[in-house]
Structure 1
Amino acid sequence: MTSAGTPGGDRVRVVVTTDPELDDLNSMLRLVLYSNEIELAGLVYSSSMFHWAGDPARGVEPFRWPPAGARGHIDQAIDAYERVHDTLRVHDARYPAPGDLRAVVREGNVSTEGDTRDATPGSDLIADLLADDEPGTLVLQAWGGLNTIARALMSVEERHAGSPGWDALRARIMARTVLTSWGEQDSAFAEYIRPRWPELELRQVATVAWGYGARQVTPPATHRFYSAAWTREHVSRVGPIGAAYRVWGDGLQMADGFDKEDCFGLRGLSREELEDRGYQVFFPVEEPGAFISEGDSSNFALHVANGLRSWQHPTWGGWGGRQVPDAEDPYRWSSDRFSMDFSKPPVDWGDAARWVPAFQNDFAARLLWSVTDDYADANHAPRIEVTTGLDVTATAGERVVVRWRVEDPDGDPVDVFAWQYREAGTCPSAATLTRGDDREVTVRVPADAAPGQTVHVILEATDRGEPPLTAYARIVLTIADETEA
């Protein structure tokens, strides 16, 4: 069965490097609710062009960094998780022990922007993972700068370059390691990683649909999921994890002292009044209690086992958005239509807006799990199995019948909707989908489909529980040459 709660195969190992931005805290709080589906091999503090800890010995002052002794946002998220861990395990026994998460927390390279000067506990953890013999993919996520990851690669090079097995190790690392990042928040990738590791895959997963400007790039129908009313009911008032989630007007700051870009905690002031006080207000002021941002969630949303299989290829798309090839770098992928130039007219950057309701409802359900100690009193995602197979070979003009089975662990009715994901497929024409009964759809492949092209059909299975939860199945039809079919 493919479901939101059952991984499709072995879980990849993931290391998160993150700076102390408020949206990183929010993404970390969501991440721990998905730690049952993702093997977290490292949670590492890092710097970026927006945050660094400073280095008194070199006369570098801290910039937007929590004061010494303050609990960092990774630790804050684990603290909240620890309070509800036993309750979460009622809903999925795979939730890791809080101590197991704490065991992989490290401080990485934090002293300055782009800091790679010395090896750190965080970079050493990553370096050891890069060079180990474990099978499978290793995913290194940069929620801030890529500098700690770069320092880890430097350490691997320092330890092994010139040894008899160096060429093989270097090739193996590039073949099995994937970087994901929300933009390039320092120069480490351009200056070191790409020149020295030219075949290391980078997926840029930046999408504004989960960021500060979410309302400017998503349809009005989705905006209720960012509203103060929805956020209070489904997040802020739901247990310790929800209470730790940053919202507009919550009275909090990212660091001590005045920060002209950190006006989110203030309430009762208009944009003009904030600007009169010296703040730079990049996005419209929202009502107290409303969603601010958790832009880095697109990094780990790739690995949520919801049936979209978005991890299998950057162009396939899913809750974390969709990536397209870079015109100049064959090992680099960028979010579809994304631009760091927010002065341009807003669009659905990252192709993520279509998934907002489902991902938000799933978040709300998991928060409810954290405060519901009886499995029967909470909602859980349905499961959908495609009995005719997920990967199908077809010919141009052929009619392909897709059949499925659906189960819901709570006994709720489930509605299944089938649609063609045009952007994900390589066939530019539209397929025709004709529903049969509740368990069947016939897909007519476009008559002009060329051999090697693909058509992606998505099945959305949404239950009628509260909140409604969605699981998916992606059927990929690959067009064969009629003479070979």
Structure 2
Amino acid sequence: MIEPDPLATPRIVVTTDPELDDLNSMLRLLLYSNEIDIAALVYSASQFHYAGDSVKDIAPYRWPAPGDRMHIDIAVDAYEKAYDNLVRHDPRYPLPADLRRLVKVGNVKNVGDTDEPTPGSDLVRDVLLGDAPGQVFAQAWGGMNTIARALLSIEEEFFGTERWDEIYALITRRTVITAFAEQDGTFAEYIRPRWPDLEFRDVATTAWGYFASAVVPEEDAVYLSPNWMRENVTSVGPIGEEYRVWGDGKHMADGFDEGDYFGLVDPRKEDLEAQGYVVWCPIQPAGSWISEGDSSAFALHIDNGLRNWEHPSFGGWGGRQERDAHDPHRWHSVGDSGQGLAGPITDRGEVGQWFGAYQRDFAARLRWSVTPEYADANHAPRVDADGPEHRVVSAGERVELAFTVMDPDGDEVRIRTYVDENASTSRAHIELAESAVLVAIADDAPTGSVTHVIVEATDSGEPMMTGYARFVLSVE
């Protein structure tokens, strides 16, 4: 069997429920579809949203009204309106018609629904079994049930046949499930017992979610503000127009939803509670950021140089994960306090440090969507390593890491170099020389430890954009 190439561009499958932040994440994802290989966009259920089943007398729960345009289709519609401009900035943007072919309805009737195959689960099944040179990341933005149904269909077809060992090895060697926590019971009840070697990364983060204001650095709080959101997001073209912010008058589901008061303009907590709302998220000024909880899942794959997807411990715009103490194939966000709201709000995934760069990059891409001339918009600088990005070193060794910076717009670029202490397990002293970083590995660096050196390049365009290179030095 051909082993998946760990450095090949991965394919991604997205399963998603109709939470408002899933719409926001979907809009952002499509702005990055020029550099992310999207293989499926599938509606799914979760414990927070399901469509119901009249045959089994299951009522819909926090689900859009029949006939309403659903959030994936809303995002693709907006993308189609912006496509002619986007493709001027990168010809790799997929045709809207190609994206529409990836949109399917998965298992949506009930929380944890895996009763039967659906067009969505069949598409996920085909992607997991199909030709792909690298890994396949199956993302659960809601529940994992549609992914579980795809795996169950594979098991039903091949278990007990002479091909089962081959198929099991294929799936477990290249498939990674990423999820914002477990929003149904299908991982614990089916996936882990029947697929014990499958890698699962819980990529739940705080800085991309409803509680971002509690963990974003003070200097980056502006990127949550009504003024910044209005000037850089909601007023910028068809994609920005669909983006959800506080007080926008919109709602998620059909009928009264006790947890959805985001569309109301500057309500008072006591008035909301009197109307029957459960005020679980602090109220923000009208026009403010609400959430993009699932953007951490695909941020792993953005081609910014941090190589976030290559290993869970690397970290980057999509957060950083640690291995679970009880399951060698499970990783969870650093500082993970679980999905519950009890206890202090922490920066799960250590992503607050990247918030400003990711928001500015988003704003720049939104400007692409309304700018027909390449020269009239900003584009990110690139940092390329002149030599291997992974190196074996010795304790006390001095290493020179050469790199090249290119800005496509000819902007001035500010270079910053530093040791990523979060991802590193050994110390080092670094100095920036011309087009190189001089690294002195600590004399007491233990065998097996690693030092991550980041080269960060930020241009002078508007909005400023940032590219990176990550060098990983392993001590032997």
* TM-score of the aligned structures, taking structure 2 as reference length: 0.97
Say whether 1:36 aligns with 2:34.
yes
Of 437, 442, 464, the residue aligned with 1:441 is 437
Stretches of structure 1 that go unaligned for 5 or more consecutive residues are 1-7, 481-485
Of 217, 224, 240, the residue aligned with 1:219 is 217
**CA distance in 2: counterparts of 1:111 and 1:288, whole angstroms:** 34
Say whether 1:454 aligns with 2:453.
no
Cα pair 2:313 2:423 within 8 Å, conserved:
yes
**CA distance in 1: counterparts of 2:33 and 2:100, whole angstroms:** 13
Q: Deviations over 1:157-212 (max 9, x none)?
A: 11111111111111211111110000000000000000000000001000010000
Task: Determine helix, strand or coil for the equivalent of 1:28.
Answer: helix
Cα shift at 1:295: 0.4
**CA distance in 2: counterparts of 1:326 and 1:225, whole angstroms:** 33
Aligned amino acid, residue 372 of structure 1: T
Give 1:169's aligned residue: 167
Of 128, 131, 140, the residue aligned with 1:130 is 128
Of 458, 471, 474, the residue aligned with 1:475 is 471
**CA distance in 2: counterparts of 1:393 and 1:189, whole angstroms:** 37
Task: Determine helix, strand or coil for the equivalent of 2:55.
Answer: helix
Cα shift at 1:223: 1.1
Aligned pairs for 1:11-410 (under 5 A) are 11-339=9-337, 340-410=339-409
Cα pair 2:8 2:133 within 8 Å, conserved:
no
Cα shift at 1:276: 2.0
Aligned amino acid, residue 417 of structure 1: R
Q: Deviations over 1:56-92 (max 9, x none)?
A: 1110000010111111100000000000101100000
Q: Deviations over 1:261-301 (max 9, x none)?
A: 00000013222221222211122211111100010000000
**CA distance in 2: counterparts of 1:473 and 1:275, whole angstroms:** 49
**CA distance in 1: counterparts of 2:51 and 2:271, whole angstroms:** 30
**CA distance in 2: counterparts of 1:32 and 1:283, whole angstroms:** 27
Cα pair 2:107 2:118 within 8 Å, conserved:
yes
Cα pair 2:7 2:134 within 8 Å, conserved:
no
Cα shift at 1:9: 6.3
**CA distance in 1: counterparts of 2:126 and 2:471, whole angstroms:** 38
Cα shift at 1:132: 2.6
**CA distance in 2: counterparts of 1:119 and 1:370, whole angstroms:** 37
**CA distance in 1: counterparts of 2:7 and 2:227, whole angstroms:** 38
Task: Determine helix, strand or coil for the equivalent of 2:62.
Answer: coil
Cα pair 1:52 1:63 within 8 Å, conserved:
yes
Say whether 1:423 aligns with 2:426.
no
Q: Deviations over 1:344-371 (max 9, x none)?
A: 1222111110100100000000000000
Cα shift at 1:222: 1.8
**CA distance in 1: counterparts of 2:108 and 2:387, whole angstroms:** 51
Cα pair 2:457 2:467 within 8 Å, conserved:
yes
Cα shift at 1:450: 1.5
Cα shift at 1:402: 1.9
Q: Deviations over 1:398-422 (max 9, x none)?
A: 2212222211110100011001011
Task: Determine helix, strand or coil for the equivalent of 1:112.
Answer: coil
Task: Determine helix, strand or coil for the equivalent of 1:153.
Answer: helix
Cα shift at 1:394: 1.6
**CA distance in 2: counterparts of 1:225 and 1:355, whole angstroms:** 12
**CA distance in 2: counterparts of 1:93 and 1:9, whole angstroms:** 23
Runs of 4+ more than 4 Å apart: none
Task: Determine helix, strand or coil for the equivalent of 1:315.
Answer: coil
Identity across matched positions, percent: 55
Cα pair 1:11 1:37 within 8 Å, conserved:
no
Cα pair 2:9 2:135 within 8 Å, conserved:
no
Give 1:4's aligned residue: none
**CA distance in 2: counterparts of 1:394 and 1:170, whole angstroms:** 37
Give 2:3's aligned residue: none
Cα RMSD over matched residues? 1.2
Task: Determine helix, strand or coil for the equivalent of 1:57.
Answer: coil
**CA distance in 2: counterparts of 1:40 and 1:411, whole angstroms:** 31
**CA distance in 1: counterparts of 2:472 and 2:96, whole angstroms:** 38
**CA distance in 2: counterparts of 1:441 and 1:96, whole angstroms:** 37
Cα shift at 1:145: 0.1
Task: Determine helix, strand or coil for the equivalent of 2:207.
Answer: helix
**CA distance in 2: counterparts of 1:18 and 1:308, whole angstroms:** 26
**CA distance in 2: counterparts of 1:385 and 1:104, whole angstroms:** 33
**CA distance in 1: counterparts of 2:97 and 2:270, whole angstroms:** 46
Cα pair 1:218 1:347 within 8 Å, conserved:
no
* More moved, 300-309 vs 417-426: 417-426
**CA distance in 1: counterparts of 2:66 and 2:340, whole angstroms:** 34
Cα pair 2:206 2:346 within 8 Å, conserved:
no
Aligned amino acid, residue 343 of structure 1: A
**CA distance in 2: counterparts of 1:413 and 1:135, whole angstroms:** 37
**CA distance in 2: counterparts of 1:346 and 1:58, whole angstroms:** 39
**CA distance in 1: counterparts of 2:344 and 2:217, whole angstroms:** 14
* TM-score of the aligned structures, taking structure 1 as reference length: 0.95
Cα shift at 1:392: 1.9
**CA distance in 2: counterparts of 1:135 and 1:387, whole angstroms:** 25
**CA distance in 2: counterparts of 1:388 and 1:115, whole angstroms:** 49
Cα pair 1:217 1:349 within 8 Å, conserved:
no
